[in-house]
Structure 1
Amino acid sequence: MSTFTVPTKDQVSETHKVIFDNLQKALGFVPNLYATIAYSDNGLAKFLAYQNAKTSLNNKEKEIVNLIVSEVNGCAYCLAAHTVIGKMNGFSDEEILKLRSGNSSNAKFDALVKFAKEATLYKGHVDDATLNAFYAAGYTNGNLVDIILQISDKTAMNYLHNLTQVPLDFPAVPALEEVFS
């Protein structure tokens, strides 16, 4: 059982109070997982800067990576959050489930989700066929670097939730086994 509780605004540093206010304005609430990062004196600002840095990936591509990495890492919190964000970026419920299973009917997205899944499962290793399909779909070396950085961003959050088990503040999503059984 986790010993983590979600800190409230009055329990965090002055620097974090400003960040909480900014998150409240931008999102309408402070996600529990972000609030949990505020246990670290520097973690929340550092993480948000990293997460919001410029990338060659568009929002849909980032969500594809976020969904498959969270599925591979078994993170209920991030799956819930990125299902909501995926829908905000134009994915249907069916497309999100397909992405979580490692597939897409869009050829470019299919190459991306397969690459990100293998890279996550095998700790940065992908087979030649997957890598060749990734490049054949139009992705570049720059995209590869940005995808690995996106995987690291999501893996950090997945691990944090898997260890802390702070409450979900997004609608829970069913496990794939439940959906496809």
Structure 2
Amino acid sequence: MRSLLAVLLAIEFRFALALFKVHTPKVPVTAVHGQYTVLRCSFTTLGESSLQMLIISWQRAETEELVYSYYYGKEQLSRQSPQYSGRTSLFPEEFKRGNASVKLDQVRPEDAGQYKCFVSNAQGSGEGIVSLIFAEWKTEVLTRNRWIIAGVLVAAEFIIILILIVAVCQKRASLENGIKQDGLSIT
């Protein structure tokens, strides 16, 4: 009887391991300078029991530089890269839904690259890769838009001035025509 129970537990454990998956987006995440972005990562969860022994680790895929680490029920940032200090956080209230996403504040150009999300719990472990691309600086976009708007306004003012000059010239020509017909001259 005990051996049957042991076999069933082993089968259940292997089945739970087979079900455990880590999911990350296939498309790159686009970030804007100075803004925050969320690198999405989710994992299979089977209720509160799967949160026991939960480990979440985010690293740069290229360098294995530690971006964020969570285990023993709290963040573990003593080995975190200084580049990410004070700029990263998880969503602990979302763990029960299988959310291991990390929020990255004040995005910088050097943040572009690939990130590895590693998740482990009593059900198993897995990892996924998230690519972060850096968009044009927001200030550059605003500056370019301001120049475009300024150019449109200058063009509109130029057109209005041309219309006024043509109207004045036509009025003057019509007055000169009327005066010449009356026999008077303009000096």
Q: What TM-score does the superposition give when structure 1 sets the normalisation length?
A: 0.23
Q: Tell which has more relative contact order, 1 or 2 (C-alpha 8 A, sep 6+).
A: 1
- Structure number having the greater strand percentage: 2
Q: Please say which structure displays the higher CA radius of gyration.
A: 2
